[in-house]
Structure formats: C-alpha cells, structure tokens
Amino acid sequence: MQKTFSFSEEEKKFFDIYQELLIKYYNQPQKLNLFLELKALELGIDDHHKLIRKFHAFLRDYIFFKSKRGELEEILEINPQLLSVLKKYPYFTEYRVSFSFPSSAIYRGFKWRNPLLIAGGNDGKVRIWKYQEGKFHFIGEIGEDFGKFPAYEVYKWHLFYAVGSKLNVYYLPSGKLVKSLEMEKPVTALKLEEKNLYLFKRVGDIAIKQSLDLKGGEIIFGPADPIAPSQVESGETDTVAVEKKLVKIKDGKIFLLTGERKETKVSFEKGEIYEVGYSVNDILPLKNRLLLGVDGSPPIILDLESGKVENKLNLPVTHTYRVRKNPVKEEIALSHTQNLVSVWDLNTLQPIRILEGYFIDAMALDYSPDGKYIASGGEGRDVNVWNTENWEMVKDLELPAEGITALKFSPDGKYLAVGAGGDIYLVETENWSVQKVLSYHEGLIADLNFVGENLVSAGWDGKALLWNIQSGEVEKIIETSEDRIWRVLPFEGGKFLAIADWNGKVSIYQTDDWSLVATFSVDSQPTALAVDKERLYIGRKDGKVQTVRLEREETFSSEGVNELTLNPSEKAVGIATFGGNVLVYTEKGNLCIWNSNGEKVFSAKVEGELKETENLREPRLEIKVLKNTYVVRKNGYFFGGKGWEEFVSVIKGLEPVENKSPFLKEITKRELLEEL
C-alpha cells in the first residue's frame, strides 16, 4: 500500500457522515457539498476539503488492495453500499492499471493538448498519453469498439467523444461516462478554437458549426451557424514538437522521435482515379476536396472521400482556365472565358469580386508572393495587374506578341514571367516594364514555373526548359516529346519537378541532379497538375482526375525511435522483451515480434508448435517458446518473466504512480503459473 492511515475520533465520525451523505446524494453534487460543509462546522473540522481528499486516498487503497481490506477496516468501518456508489461516481478517481501491448489500431492524426496527447484509432477508441518529466506515460483508452474513427476533443478535463450521432462525455481522471446524448445528425468533428469547444455536423450540402459547454454536468448547446463543408476540420495533426522531441504519425502509428534525423525519402505510388465528367483545366487542393476549373461547366468541387462531385460554384460561365490561391489570404481567383476573373472567399466559397480584363479569354493567372497583386492575360497583347486591396487596375501592360498563355511571379516577387507567342517576357514588377525576352521555344508557351531562382517553361514544341533568368540562357533541356509539353509543377520545396506530356505521360524529376525518379502513364492527355502533402493530382482531358500518392519515409537514429502506440490490445495475453525487441503472444495463438523502430519483424501462428511462420525482415529468426516467458493477464491479475513490469502502468486519475512495486505485488498471483 502507499501509506499508513490514521484518523482522530472526530474525523472517524465525519467519515460515517460522509459515507451516508455520499450514498444518498452522489448524483446531486451541490446538495452533497452543502450538507458536508454544514456537518463539518458542527464537528469543528476546519478544512473538510483536505480531510475528504484523505478519505479518497484511503478509499482508493481499499478498492485496489483487496488483500489488505481487513487491515484497513480496522482503521475505518466501510459501509458495503459505498463501494458500488464509488464505482459509478464519475468524479471519484481510483487507481487504474494499464498495460502496453502492440495494437492493430491505425491513426490518421492526434491532438496535442498540453500535457495530454490524445488520438482516435480506426477501432473507435481514443488513447491518451500524458507528458511528464520528459516522458510520455500511457494513461488509458476511452470509447467503444465501433470499428471506425471517432470525433473527439478534450475540454475542461472531459473527453467529448462521438461516433455517428451518439455524443458521450467522459471525466478524464476517472475515465467514467458522465453524459450521453443522441444527436439528430452524425457528428463530423469536435474541435477546440481559442479555448472554446465546437461541434460540426453535415446537413445536406452545408455543414453546421455549434458551440458546446459543460456546466453542472450538463451539456449546453450554443447557436448553430451554417458554414461551407470545406471549413469542417477535426483539429488533428500528424506532427508536433514537444520540447526537443518530435511526435509523428508514420504508417498509421504514433512515434516519438528523439534521435538525430538522417533523411526523408519520398517515393511515388499510383493512386485513385476520380470521375468528374468534364475536361479538367486546373486543380486547387482543399481540405479533403478539390476545386476544379473545367470545360463545359462552372467550377466544380470534388469530394475526395466520397469520390463524387459535391457542388458547383454559382457562376454563369462554362469554361475556367486557371485556379489560384492568394498566398497570404483565405482567397482564391479563377480565370474564365469572356475576359473575366472571379475572386472568392476560400472558406465560404462566396464571390468577392468580378474583374474584367482588356483581352479575350483569361487563359493565364497568378498571384504575387505577397498576395498584393493579381495578374491575368489571354488572347491579345494585354497583361492586366490589379491591386488586391482596392481591386484597382495598377497596370495594363501591352506586349509585342499576341496570345498570352502563361504567367508566373518569381518567388521573390521581383519578376513576372509572361509566355506570349513563342517567347517569354521577363517583366520587372518595380516599374512593370519588360527587362528581357527569353527566346528558344518554337511554339506557344504552355506553362511557366520557378524552381528556386531558375525558370522552367513548357512548350508546344515538346520541350521543357530550365532557364537562368539572370543570363537569359537555357541551362538545360529537361525533357523532349514528340507532342507538346503541357504542364510543369515543382513540389516538395522544389526538390521534385513533375512534367505533363500531351502524349499521356507524367514524369517526375529530382532537381538536384535532374534524374528521372518516376513515370506514370495517363490514359488521356494530362491537362492539369497540382499537389498537396499526400498526393500529386493529374487532371485529364477525358474528364478524370488521376492521383499519385507521395509516400514519405523519415529515417532517424535507431536509439531515438519509440512507438507510443504500443498500447492495449484486447487479444494479447503475453509479452516479453529481448535485445530491444518486443514479443507478443495473442489469444488467437499469434506470435509477433516488433523491433525498436516499431516495425513488425516476425509473425507466426502457434498451434502446439510454430506454424505459418513469416519472416518479414532480416535477420531470419529462430524462436523457442519457453515457460515463464510471457506476461499473462487473467481476471485483472498479471504474471510474467523478467522485464514485464515495464509494460504495466499504475494511474491515479491522470497522474502516473512512481512506486509501482506494491501495486504489482497486489496484481500478481503465483497460482496463475500453475493454471497455465
């Protein structure tokens, strides 16, 4: 046990009163506190709150240490009815034992609510860790086994948890359910914003955002405001820095990285194909959605989760050429036929402004890096530049050549590169004058982009060129094709360049040595390229969007990699450690080994002897199953061989108990060995 208890006669009398009142008023906390305060005054007890905390410590030991109950009953007499009340009383925190075994749950993100790290798995459960004294301590899991990701958030030391339309509230220190409600619509997300809690749900084509509060054990709902579906966010992240440590999602698991980072490798895998029904001219990735500029329809929004067209922008146009986001504002611009450029609020997808240019068909469009200017051009000689603060046209630049097909500001904002005819005009933005003309292409300029200080151009002559804009010379012919090169897109901070060939091919080059690292065939002409953190998107002329998954592999020094999600698995009955590895035996007879990087290196089916063995990684392993090797869990008791204590945590509320020895002794039964 943790300590030796002693109580005065007055304190013992107050304990009898405390038991009687708690049994009677446990679900009426205000009345309970009032009566306790009055009785404490009658008995002359100055600080009854301190005394009640002492009672709670005594009762925690009484509940947990069953072998010591006789000894404790000699100190205070316990009313038998009190135990059943304490077990359902949500705000009484008793000792809890948690054990850490590898789990099959997958995570797509987590939330850092200092000092708590919380993560909802695809099994429906939320796991909680507490960061204390430089370490993450596993506190426990809350929720039900629904088999899908939950919505969750921590607020006022309670966990708000929803799967489908059911909303539950748990008191975190005890893990007990304090409130449960059935909502009219499924809950999409729960999120903290500026210390306020909000609930999100979908109603038809719109989303609803509603504030929540918890007062007196009751959930208080605030006003419900309609918002655009694109504004619904869970608040989860895949990376967070805690002191000098990095917590990160990798392959659906949560890792704590403390070693030296060696490198990040990016590989490319063929992904999904989405049907949109219109030839795609440009793509802007949004949160779980794509905004598409297309031929034959107003701009459309594609939902990536359902794979269906979700909505169309309310705009009387049937052709959209370019879609661009303001780098510093929640604002987007689209260029269309009829010399129109439309500007929209990104969050609400409501129009802000319609701009009219001095050209026909706005085929080219770009924002300056500071978001101050927007430039557009089309059929004709004019490039129009507007100020995004007052929407006044600050420059109508007339070029010698007709047919402006591409525009791109340099990363430092000093230049605007303009593709007109077969030449590239480099315009100084300080005075909006042409500084030089870059000539090499033998056809129209299809696209322009910058890789660092160098310019990349795509031409109808089938060439992708790398330019030194200071000298005006071509430094490299990156790629040639029998047909036109239609799009060039740098990504990953300029480490890679994607090139779309009209022949039905997308090539990816590594820009440090211009080596070809991947090629993807496209069953139609590729007409658009875009990228986010997870995918490269390829728009196609046949009305489809093809994707390429970006698979990242970060390598760290092995001694600094720890998987936090080596946590409860309901199927595990045994565990052992050796040489930094973890061996687990499950109720279904599976034997698995994870290495120190959190990678499964061995898997086998055990039926009397090893069967269906699978060596997943070198070195090849020879395993002997020895008696007394495992941690065994049965009816709340544990037994194990050397090192098993490392996988057992004792929690008081949200505080890890430092001295586990008396608790481990209590939950160990020698006779379990004979049974097994």
- Using H for helix, E for strand and C for coil, what is the string for 19-41? HHHHHHHCCCHHHHHHHHHHHHH
Which of 446, 470, 490 is the last residue before a domain boundary? 490
Domain with residue 640: its CATH number is 2.40.10.360
Structural domain of 440: 281-490
Q: What is the pLDDT of residues 400-435, one digit of tens each?
A: 998 999 999 999 999 999 999 899 999 999 999 999
- What was the pLDDT predicted at 611? 61
Identify the H or E element spanning 87: helix 80-88
Residues 214 and 329 in one domain: no
Q: Residue 485 is encoded by which pair of tokens?
A: 């090169």
Residue 206 C-alpha from the chain's centroid: 23
Which of 59, 89, 119 is the last residue before a domain boundary? 89
Sequence-distant (≥ 6) Cβ neighbours of residue 74 within 8 angstroms: none
pLDDT band at residue 360, thresholds of 50, 70 and 90? confident
Percentage of the chain with pLDDT > 90? 57
Distance CA 656, CA 132 (A): 9
Q: Closest Cα to residue 63, out of 47, 86, 81?
A: 86
Residues 434 and 313 in one domain: yes
In a domain, 267, yes or no: no
Q: How far apart are the first and last CA of the chain?
A: 28
Sequence-distant (≥ 6) Cβ neighbours of residue 245 within 8 angstroms: 256, 257, 258
Residue 157 has pLDDT above 80, yes or no: yes
Q: Closest Cα to residue 574, out of 600, 596, 562, 592?
A: 592
Residues 310 and 237 in one domain: no
Instruction: Return the DSSP state at 57.
Output: H
Coil, strand or helix at 624:
coil
pLDDT band at residue 651, thresholds of 50, 70 and 90? confident
In a domain, 669, yes or no: yes
Residues 245 and 306 in one domain: no
In a domain, 541, yes or no: no
In a domain, 316, yes or no: yes
Per this entry, what is the length of the chain? Answer: 676
Residues 234 and 345 in one domain: no
Distance CA 237, CA 154 (A): 15
pTM for the predicted model, two decimal places: 0.61
Residues 134 and 161 in one domain: yes
Domain with residue 449: its CATH number is 2.130.10.10
Residues 78 and 115 in one domain: no
- What was the pLDDT predicted at 569? 42
Residues 127 and 214 in one domain: yes
Better-scored residue on pLDDT, 600 or 640: 600
Percentage of the chain with pLDDT > 70? 84
Residues 114 and 255 in one domain: yes
In a domain, 310, yes or no: yes
- What was the pLDDT predicted at 650? 85
Residue 331 has pLDDT above 80, yes or no: yes
Which of 490, 505, 534 is the last residue before a domain boundary? 490
Average pLDDT for residues 212-240, to the nearest whole number?
89
In a domain, 503, yes or no: no
Mean pLDDT, the chain, rounded, equals: 86
Q: What is the pLDDT of residues 270-296, one digit of tens each?
A: 999 999 999 999 999 998 899 999 999
Phi, psi of 296 (to 5 degrees): 90, 5
Residue 98 has pLDDT above 80, yes or no: no
Say if residues 116 and 653 touch (Cβ distance below 8 Å): no
In a domain, 34, yes or no: yes
Residues 340 and 447 in one domain: yes
Residues 592 and 450 in one domain: no
Say if residues 498 and 488 touch (Cβ distance below 8 Å): yes
State how many domains the chain has. 4
- What was the pLDDT predicted at 277? 94
Strands 590-594 and 600-607: antiparallel
Residues 468 and 595 in one domain: no
Q: What is the pLDDT of residues 474-515, one digit of tens each?
A: 999 999 999 999 999 999 999 999 999 999 999 999 999 999
In a domain, 548, yes or no: no
Q: What is the pLDDT of residues 300-314, one digit of tens each?
A: 999 998 899 988 998
Coil, strand or helix at 128:
strand
